[in-house]
Structure 1
């Protein structure tokens, strides 16, 4: 079952159960882990102590044997044997020697045989009796390595046990005596068996070869482990390690003897060690199971008691009569249903608060808009101001109008203008203190503010207005990346004078045409009310129109710039400025109408020209618009029309020349046929063909004469008459001038026939 789909009551049961189970499980696991770890640690420590006791028992036994033999050899009885040859007549010394050697073979030390070799006189005394040997090398071959070494004594391994070898006297090159004592494995095994009842104990010699052990097969298998050999070959005097054999884990403890160089090791199965801890784990599990049952009962009982207030709350909010609200029979439990009910209540409250707040904001904005438009009656103004908690003690009031200069060159389009104005509206709310303003509003293409102060000093009020205006411009530039201009009306003292102040601010914004973008405009500075006569730059207009008609693009741009600068030269009135723009717009469009060109070719698919022009704010924008939207397209259209007209005139004249070259054709006659002045036709024809009318006519007649000379039998006189020359001489003279030869020579050269003329 998905935990998230469980009812709250079941979740309480689960949480209560887990709250008791998790600590208990952790405690049980840690207890079992601690017990098993502790038992293993104690066993390893016990094995280490057992090994040390085993080492002590074995080495004590070896040291006892070694001490007894050394004492015997150093006694007078022992030293006398160095120089005594074997003589059966001398029974008494050898009898004492045999008795002393039997005394060395006591049960406690495990020595079962002691042999004494006289290396000088080549005799030997042992349990077998007193004998001589003649072949010294053969007799002493088992001890050859020891005798040739620098050691005075040592313990070695043999088939039946371990053997002690001792030279006497010591520190001489050729010792006189050699003592050999044997201790069987059975005696050493008794020491190990008595010492270590846990696991397997073994003794290794210095070469890591097994001397003896309780379970020699298992020990031999363990010795095949390279990790164990590497550990034993180290410099550690003692240690433990865990290793695997046949899938079973073993704990190996070792002690390295500095006396004999032997290794005492103990290997115990970890499974056997932890057998007791598993029984402890079973007991712990059953104990935890009982405790878990108690925890489950306590969780159920406690959860039901804690859930009782939730049932009561559910009955109050949702209703207790609905059977489907029971968590056991519904996918939604009481908590979810309570949450849904509370959420609905909060949503209703939030919506109502939001609606009331929205209505309040809209009412404020609507009141301010009506106030500046003069639609609020005087007796209602104070009432509304008090209702919206506005200040009513202002001594001076000013209408501030903020407008975006241009969206050209920004990342915005004209469709974004309303959003930008609302963003500026929010900025104004943060920049201007609430005690000094009414609610900011957006009207048409401007953002409007009614600001006021209790100050009586006009200069101080102007300074404050200047700071707010600069802050608004800076915020618009930083956050919106647009420039804005701010217009400030003259201060008024009465609320009923705000419509006039609003009109002044709107008129002041129009003066950006002269002041440029990002301007702060005071109405009292730009609306002077002077009656000085303003002259229209008629001469510049005529020069501009002449440049357009002539198709001089660069000259038209220069004339337009001069014209626009003349329009904004003081004294400047915005209404006169607009009328002048409408006038020049009309004159330019008249150029198209005179040529019979419809205006729709310029504004196809766009807003009307007057509407486009009314949206421009600065001289630079206006100049750019006239150049791009009117002058350049008009020049292009006129040039295209003029070029087409010239081509038609030229083609008509050429066609008349080709058809009527053999008549008395003149330029005047051609011009009259196409209804143009002869001078105009002459100018156009020369511009289109590169030659004048007479030259083109003569050249065409010459081409026709050359054809007749080669293709017909017409005489030169007949050709001259046909081409309307006054005499054949004039024809021949012109032909020679152009071709360099006479007509007769030309015919002879082309056809090979001699001319008759």
Structure 2
């Protein structure tokens, strides 16, 4: 068997068998734990159900007893002495005890009046001093609560009522007086009457005894829950019919310590009782402090998991056999590519492989592929040169919100970003303007690139992330360990001032820097980026060459209606000046417009809105003359270009150069074109109607213009007034007819719409300097 095939087979066996063994072990462990968990939850549930059953009875009895204690009958009886002659009242009191029997079986109940020294029970009546329970009542005075529970009253012996305590004939007829306390193992519920504060002696007590056997009937007897018993507040057994002796004494102490230390009312833990492991579940009642305890042997719990262990073992063996078969088959299949690769690499070298290489296939393959590894190393060196570009790309995604905090924590270490910072801040640098500098607009991107390189060299890598160019700005994320907000703000301002100073010194370039608020979560970087951009917008109202913090931007106010009205009036005057082509008035009204904005000290965010309104008004002027905005004003006069302007000086210069001057030229051209069109139409009317009665008023009615306006337009375009041009045109027609026809002078005058030949001759002589007759003779 080939060397590597054997190794591959062994490795595959180990690789396949190990998960099977691990999975089998883990499955058994998990199953055992699940069973133990289920048993624990089941025991806790049984304890909870047992507690709820017992407490439901006790609470119901408690509520009924409270109603009895607060009844007018009891309250009245506690204020007066009582003897055996008051048979009806004693019967009424005992009948109340009988009503309590509806809740549960009561072993005994008695009402004690300390001040009047009498006792009324379910079966007897007498003076308190005649019974030995006075000692027991005395111990009740030491309790601070108005309602409390007493268990294991073995000290209270059975006491008979003396003959003097009989209740009339009904009592004396009994053969023996009834006992006051009928059982040694009872749970007593004691009410102070009235339910007074702890520092006031009560007038009496209501004591209700419930036999332990009665409450024991509510305990669960499920064999799977083990030993279940109840402890009172003194850690004494009761309510159980099994005598555990001292078996669980140490366990009970452990439970009490866990309850006191943890403060939790329920729990589960493992312990040893008589050298046997057990699982203990416990719950403490908030009603009376009793502890409900369940003790189950761990052997009983794990017995159920033995079947799982057997099934798991068998399944593991079967899977190991299957794994062995698959390993043999798979190893051969996996070795076949190595064999083919070995044959291929041998072919690369020579038909016959050199001696010695047949012993180790991979050494031979390694030698043949060494050239590929060297090529890979060369590629790695080239990738290092792209590391900076990858950093910039990562920062661009971070600033635009395309990187989550989880991605940053993973990839940030790869790019050697600062660590150990407590706060971050974003600096955004923008070029204020290129006008008045030695640079042109086409140099803006190159200048930003130069500034970005300068920032990378000026600031140490420990306090900044990789600087990037984003849109029309240079952006830098600063990292600082400072925690004081004021110190942090001063530190970021200092870094921004240092950058601006160096840019002015080396590039002589006017720039402004916006600074965001400090933040601690890397996920807030996109918001901080927007804050730095908003801070730079303050240049509109504050000017250029400044450093602006986001916190220092004034809150936005509302534009007054009066201001809007004034701006509209100046807009109308400005539009009128543009129509008239008056550059001086246009510039004057625009200065008034800007001055009004400056006086009102508007927030910087209002400027773009107002400027867009003015831009729309200028667009409207172009459209009124039938012009196309893009053709008349050009691409740089668009609204998008206006919104890119960051300072008021840039906006002012842009309006004057890109809007006002082109609009004035356009209006002049359109007006001249309109004048020429009107003049042509009037000349056409003259050519068509020269032989009819034609006047300036007739032309005005035909062309739908005022006669005075037509006279001014015709004079400007033709150089002569309308009447003179009409006369000259008619005389030119007369010359043609005189030369080419034999029409008489009178006939020509009639054809030219002259009323008499004399007026025609006078006009002809005035224009040509000779009479029509002489003109005909001269031309012939």
Query: What range is the shorter-chain TM-score in?
Result: 0.3 to 0.5
TM-score where L is the length of structure 1: 0.45
Which protein shows a greater Rg?
Answer: 1
TM-score where L is the length of structure 2: 0.44
